[in-house]
Chain A
Amino acid sequence: MDQIFFREQDYIQAGSSEHREFWAFFDRFQRFKAKRDMSGSGARDEVKERKRTGHEKVDLGLPREYDARYRINVSVCTGDVEQRMGKADPTRRQRSSGPGPQEVSDCRLALLHFLDFSQKQSFGKLAKLRREQNNLPIFQYRDRIVELVRLHPVVVVAGDTGCGKSTQVPQYLLSAGFTHIACTQPRRIACISLAKRVSFESLNQYGSKVGYQIRFETSRTAATKLLFLTEGLLLRQIQQDKNLDQYEVVIVDEVHERHLHCDFLLGVLRSLLADRPGLRLILMSATINIKLFSEYFHSAPVLQVPGRLFPIQVIYQPIPPEEQPSRSEKLDPRPYLRILQGIDQRYPPEERGDLLLFLSGVAEIGTIQEACQVYATHTRRWIVLPLHSTLSLAQQDKVFDVAPLAVRKCIISTNIAETSVTIDGVRFVVDSGKVKEMSFDPKAKMQRLQEFWISRASSEQRKGRAGRTGPGVCYRLYSESDYNAFAPYPVPEIHRVALDSLVLQMKSMDLGDPLSFVFIDPPPTSSIQTAVTYLKEQGALDSRGELTSIGRLLSQLPVDVVIGKMLVLGSLFNLVEPVLTVAAALSVQSPFLRSSQHNPDCSTARQPLHSNQGDPFTLLNTFNAWVEVKRERGGGSRKWCRRRGLEEQRLYEMVNLRRQFKELLRSHGLLESEDRAPSGGDRLQRRERFTERKKLHQLKRHHEQQEGTKRKVLRMDEGQDGELSSGSDTEGRGRKGKKRQEEDVDIQEVKFKLRHNVSELQEAVSASQDLSSRHQALLKLLLCRGLYPQLALPDEHNSNRKDSEQVFHTRNKQGVVIHPTSVFASDPEVLHVPEDDVRETGPDRRDSSRHQLLAFVTLLETNKPYLSNCVRVPALQALLLVANSVDTNADCTRLVVDGWLELEVKEPEEALRVLSTALSLRCEWERLLKVQLGQSSLGEASGQGVSRRDMEKLSEGLVRFLLYTEVSYSLQRLTAFQTQNLYVGPQSEPDSSYAEVPDLSPLFPGAEAKPDPIKGGLRVSGFFTYNCLADSKDLYSECLRTFWSCPNCELYMPLTPLERMHHEASCRPAGERQEAEKESGDGKPGSSSMSSLTRVYHCDVCNEDLKLTSTEILKHKRQHMFAAK
């Protein structure tokens, strides 16, 4: 039969899913026919009846006898095939199994009905879709919207939840003939889901007319006419394509949310409109503060669309004073429980409708969840589910599952459910009126997460969540007068956060002075100035506020400045792989789930991953171990992660980010491109990889088709696992939960395999596994230099304190603590100065060579100021190598770093040695970095870059300095009084000691040592000022000359510290000197290396110009001195 109807070239092919559906249909159809034949039909009588009564105005020529066949407008012609088969294969006909004419016609009939049925099914879907679209409130404005867009460069479409603007407006423009449409969204997830929905609605589900583009994923092709993308990504595109010529229309959705990127994007587009008169801009917003947007774009027309919400009853239930939480106490759950009880009393359980409860933060959610869970277990009428961003994705996903009959979901959420997550079926909303919001304290350079009252706009938004699917109730745990006192709108993000990245991006887009940029709602001037200062400190901007070459590069990297710096620094040394991993790890949410921290099994399993060097190293170990598991066991990594309380999604994000970083470094010439043929070049391997990829693509497509159709029914005890009964999460999940996770495993693993070559990744990663202590030291230095000035000093009394009471100080904030998730919170001893190394040299002085500092990624104040993602570094060495300002006294035994840390070295001899080594290492490091960056800015990878030898020599030097500097010193913060009188200040008359300023140019090329106009003393290089500290024991540096013998040459004479450093910089060890000579090779051996060190010296005594090295000059001067005596 298949050979007649379902041949390879036929409409339905044997073996396809439709073919299977047909045969199922066939069986049903035959049964149906048999049943109908049995019951008999009165068709014939009916027809006769018609003949009797008919008036015969028009004869429609309809057949007299009814046959369902006449209702079908399709026919199948297979006569030729049947005939051919009959002739060509007579044997077949005789066989009893071959299809007889009756069977063929049966099958044909069934096929017709099947075709008719599937046509009806598809058309039904189409009609339903169109009906739904036309019922949306915005549909009536369709023509008006298109007309406005045609007439005006900027249009504001304002409409509340449910009016359909996000899905419909792009479609209206598409069908009106606009072809290059970009629609921005604040959230990545919205880009994907909107692209999916809109392509379905515009009947292009299987085409690529509608696509999305987010950081690591895109479905965009040349055929894409409508693209959903994030605000940040569009900004990046403008960075590359200044006029944004690729788009004809830009829609900015959810402008009322006022995200940093969105506000900035509006400003950029506003100025772009002047250069692109053809560009059309549409702002879409909720009906909040519309005037602001319209006026910003020169009174752009506004189209207001009513939303579609069901009526919502608002009940004000302010919390009575005795139940108000005091500052230190936990939240009192009674007001919340009363509402649950009230609902149970007032509404019969058969009436569906879930409850959504808004609280300010995770701790609050925990408290209320616990209390509600007790009530729920008792009544068996509720399933309590938390919802916040630090939950695992699987747990977050549960809020979309359905509760069993007569049971309601009680979802306890942060403001994530206000806009980002939309849950259908909510009938009751409980609004605490509180929100925790991030703000930035520019003075302490600290982020702060504080609780605030929400705005009226947020309050309305929360209320609206109750009326999406039917009439609802909103309980407000505050009074109406409180409500009226709320601010009208939330504070826009641009007023709350550090603007470093924004200012950097503005600089790279040539937008002029950030202070004069026309923002829709300009951020405070101080905020911008803080950012500019910070960027200068970081070396991204020069003193005139222009981008430096490193700044230009950093502006291209979609990460924090500090992390971008790490990447650039890492590219110089042979440490790219681990730096890539660490940078990626620090840019995503931590993979370590908070809820698993107190689970003993998880902690034990995590233990081997921990590194007491610092959290970035723990993350590095974790990632490496995960890749190893991935390579060995593939999908088994899910279980591995679960056992350790890790959110695997974060690791997937890391691996993607890592790759993006690598590509960015490569495209900027900071990394050699791998010239290997793809995947080793082996043909067989390539083919294998190809077939594997094909299979993976199929799997992915299959998964995408299945997606969204599988909402599970929750179990009664759901929500009790996770935080409450710790550990049940790991193994003891029900079969259902497990099964779902298995399904998820596939798609994540599939996507991973599609994007990455596991063995290649493993190879790259193994380079960073088992770092030698030397590499580790270097990596720490790189992280520290990246993170600088984010450094913290352990309090001197920490060793006498309990583990939980360890205190640290940053330059701008005293008394900060380590976040409990950090490795140093559980193991603070590694930060203490070892007792056996301490030399008590005074009442307040503890000398040691083992002082350490913490470099940290974030300083965030919640209930306390917390440091997270810390790494420990040797204090003296790290400071000398990374600090922006190092000031010394005359004999260099007292050093003040960045005006807040004081280091006192006992032995002047040692102090000089250390300082001098650090200076020359730093100088060389700077030089190589400049070469590396200069090379990248020229874009020529082939040019003479940093030679491998130079790089190896430098890293060798740095490592030796970091690991083997045994100098005993004390380390403390300066007191306020000390800071006031820190410097000697400018000297009015040239001091005799400075009269003979040694030329330091070979030590610090390009910088001339000159008196510092503010600090006094001698500014030797950008960061080093000599002899400017006010308490200098002796200002007559001439008297500080001590006899010194150079280890490299035979020089032995009394020198000042500066002279000595100077000599050390120019005098190289004998071995090296020889090498240099060999290198310069041809012609004059030795002279070239020497000549580079010589310069013209005019001796006043001899009145002669001499060509001498600096040491020779010193010797020469000595001669005169001794002669005079």
Chain B
Amino acid sequence: MEQTATETPQNTFSCQLCGLSTSFTYYGQKPPNTRAIVLLEECFVTKDPFSPDKEKFLVLGSTCSLCGKCVCVGPDCSLFYTKRFCVPCVNRHLDQFPQQVRAELAKKSQSSQPGVTQLT
């Protein structure tokens, strides 16, 4: 891990929505050392920095299946429902998503309201 990181220091993943940026070590569906686990989308993956285990990975984000934007997996930026959708795309096609997803988004936008005022 250490070595691949030093060899390619330019591998930076950056979310086009929230700006979160951090280096990644793998892009694809089958991160190294994950054995039986397969990702269902092409993802930017890094070693899980919060685990002492060297082989634990962390998915940072992927591209939106509609607009192709590079987005992080944070619930404010994208969601996965058989495919990756960025939140703006989900909102644009909200009607095609099941009620559960819609309810979840509605709840989130409500709760994030006071958070915004706090920031300003």
Is B22 interfacial (CB 8 A cutoff)? Answer: yes
Whether B37 lies near A119 (C-beta < 8 A) is: no
Is A421 interfacial (CB 8 A cutoff)? Answer: no
Whether B36 lies near A77 (C-beta < 8 A) is: yes
Report A-chain residues with C-beta under 8 Å of the C-beta of B100: 43, 46, 66
The digit string for B43-82, where 1 denotes a CB below 8 A from any CB of A, is 1001011111111101110100010000011100001111
Please measure, in the bound complex, the distance between the C-alpha atom of A81 and the C-alpha atom of B41, giving whole angstroms: 24
Is A34 interfacial (CB 8 A cutoff)? Answer: no
Report B-chain residues with C-beta under 8 Å of the C-beta of A205: 49-50
Is A71 interfacial (CB 8 A cutoff)? Answer: yes
Query: Which of B35, B73, B82, B93 makes the CB contact (< 8 A) with A70?
Result: B82
Please measure, in the bound complex, the distance between the C-alpha atom of A447 and the C-alpha atom of B116, giving whole angstroms: 57
CB nearest neighbor in B for A65: B98
Is B99 interfacial (CB 8 A cutoff)? Answer: yes
Whether B39 lies near A73 (C-beta < 8 A) is: yes
Please measure, in the bound complex, the distance between the C-alpha atom of A66 and the C-alpha atom of B103, giving whole angstroms: 13
Report B-chain residues with C-beta under 8 Å of the C-beta of A60: 66, 83, 85, 93, 96
Report B-chain residues with C-beta under 8 Å of the C-beta of A124: 74
Please measure, in the bound complex, the distance between the C-alpha atom of A9 and the C-alpha atom of B58, giving whole angstroms: 19
Which residues in window 1-24 of B have CB below 8 A to A? Answer: 1-2, 9, 18-22
Report B-chain residues with C-beta under 8 Å of the C-beta of A77: 36-38
CB nearest neighbor in A for B6: A223
Given the interface pairs A73-B39, A74-B37, A75-B40, the reply to whether A122 lies near B50 with Cβ below 8 Å is yes
Count residues of chain B with CB under 8 A from any CB of chain A.
Answer: 51
Report A-chain residues with C-beta under 8 Å of the C-beta of B38: 74-77
Whether A73 lies near B95 (C-beta < 8 A) is: no
Q: How far is the CB of B60 from chain A (nearest CB, A)?
A: 7
Query: Which of A71, A76, A78, A115 makes the CB contact (< 8 A) with B80?
Result: A71
Count residues of chain A with CB under 8 A from any CB of chain B.
Answer: 55
Whether B96 lies near A126 (C-beta < 8 A) is: no
Q: Which of A48-56, A553-561, A644-652, A740-748 contacts B (4 or more CB under 8 A)?
A: A48-56
Given the interface pairs A62-B82, A73-B41, A130-B22, the reply to whether A50 lies near B72 with Cβ below 8 Å is no
Whether B49 lies near A206 (C-beta < 8 A) is: yes
Query: Which of B20, B33, B96 makes the CB contact (< 8 A) with A130?
Result: B20
Is A127 interfacial (CB 8 A cutoff)? Answer: yes
Is A209 interfacial (CB 8 A cutoff)? Answer: yes
Report B-chain residues with C-beta under 8 Å of the C-beta of A70: 80-82
Taking each of A63, A119, A209, which has the highest tally of chain B beta carbons within 10 Å of its own beta carbon? A119
Whether B60 lies near A53 (C-beta < 8 A) is: no
Q: How far is the CB of B84 from chain A (nearest CB, A)?
A: 7
Report A-chain residues with C-beta under 8 Å of the C-beta of B37: 11, 74-77, 115
Whether B55 lies near A11 (C-beta < 8 A) is: yes
CB nearest neighbor in B for A10: B35
Whether B49 lies near A203 (C-beta < 8 A) is: yes
Q: How far is the CB of A1011 from chain B (nearest CB, A)?
A: 73
CB nearest neighbor in A for B61: A123
Report A-chain residues with C-beta under 8 Å of the C-beta of B40: 72-75
Is B105 interfacial (CB 8 A cutoff)? Answer: no
Report A-chain residues with C-beta under 8 Å of the C-beta of B84: 73
Whether B96 lies near A705 (C-beta < 8 A) is: no
Given the interface pairs A46-B98, A55-B95, A62-B96, the reply to whether A126 lies near B34 with Cβ below 8 Å is no
Q: How far is the CB of A697 from chain B (nearest CB, A)?
A: 13
Is A47 interfacial (CB 8 A cutoff)? Answer: yes
Whether B82 lies near A125 (C-beta < 8 A) is: no
Query: Which of B36, B39, B62, B74 makes the CB contact (< 8 A) with A11?
Result: B36
Whether B98 lies near A119 (C-beta < 8 A) is: no
Please measure, in the bound complex, the distance between the C-alpha atom of A18 and the C-alpha atom of B96, giving whole angstroms: 37
Is A957 interfacial (CB 8 A cutoff)? Answer: no
Query: Which of B21, B34, B62, B99 makes the CB contact (< 8 A) with A66?
Result: B99
Please measure, in the bound complex, the distance between the C-alpha atom of A42 and the C-alpha atom of B84, giving whole angstroms: 25
Is A636 interfacial (CB 8 A cutoff)? Answer: no
CB nearest neighbor in A for B19: A134
Report B-chain residues with C-beta under 8 Å of the C-beta of A66: 98-101
Report B-chain residues with C-beta under 8 Å of the C-beta of A95: none
Is A58 interfacial (CB 8 A cutoff)? Answer: yes
Q: How far is the CB of B66 from chain A (nearest CB, A)?
A: 8
The digit string for A73-87, where 1 denotes a CB below 8 A from any CB of B, is 111111001000000
Please measure, in the bound complex, the distance between the C-alpha atom of A374 and the C-alpha atom of B41, giving whole angstroms: 67
Q: How far is the CB of A952 from chain B (nearest CB, A)?
A: 55
Given the interface pairs A62-B81, A72-B80, A223-B2, the reply to whether A9 lies near B35 with Cβ below 8 Å is yes
Please measure, in the bound complex, the distance between the C-alpha atom of A66 and the C-alpha atom of B79, giving whole angstroms: 14
Report B-chain residues with C-beta under 8 Å of the C-beta of A125: 50
Given the interface pairs A62-B97, A66-B99, the reply to whether A78 lies near B58 with Cβ below 8 Å is no
CB nearest neighbor in B for A134: B19
Please measure, in the bound complex, the distance between the C-alpha atom of A705 and the C-alpha atom of B98, giving whole angstroms: 42
Whether B99 lies near A11 (C-beta < 8 A) is: no
Report B-chain residues with C-beta under 8 Å of the C-beta of A206: 49, 51-52, 54
Please measure, in the bound complex, the distance between the C-alpha atom of A54 and the C-alpha atom of B48, giving whole angstroms: 40
Is A207 interfacial (CB 8 A cutoff)? Answer: yes
Is A35 interfacial (CB 8 A cutoff)? Answer: no
The digit string for A202-215, where 1 denotes a CB below 8 A from any CB of B, is 01111101000000
Please measure, in the bound complex, the distance between the C-alpha atom of A1059 and the C-alpha atom of B66, giving whole angstroms: 110
Which residues in window 322-368 of A have CB below 8 A to B? Answer: none
Report B-chain residues with C-beta under 8 Å of the C-beta of A177: 9
Q: How far is the CB of A22 from chain B (nearest CB, A)?
A: 13
Whether A58 lies near B59 (C-beta < 8 A) is: no
Please measure, in the bound complex, the distance between the C-alpha atom of A76 and the C-alpha atom of B37, giving whole angstroms: 5
The digit string for A1-19, where 1 denotes a CB below 8 A from any CB of B, is 0000100011100001010
Whether A126 lies near B41 (C-beta < 8 A) is: no
Please measure, in the bound complex, the distance between the C-alpha atom of A203 and the C-alpha atom of B72, giving whole angstroms: 17
Whether A122 lies near B98 (C-beta < 8 A) is: no
Whether A71 lies near B52 (C-beta < 8 A) is: no
Taking Cβ atoms with an 8 Å cutoff, the residues of B that contact A are 1-2, 9, 18-22, 33-41, 43, 46, 48-56, 58-60, 62, 66, 72-74, 79-85, 93, 95-101
In order of increasing CB-CB distance, the 3 nearest A-B pairs are A203-B49, A46-B99, A66-B98
14 contacts between A and B (CB under 8 A): A11-B55, A43-B100, A54-B95, A54-B96, A58-B93, A60-B83, A66-B99, A66-B101, A70-B80, A119-B73, A122-B50, A126-B58, A130-B22, A206-B52
Given contacts A11-B34, A42-B99, A66-B100, 13 further A-B pairs with CB under 8 A are A11-B56, A18-B53, A50-B96, A60-B93, A62-B97, A70-B81, A73-B39, A73-B80, A76-B38, A123-B58, A203-B46, A206-B52, A705-B52
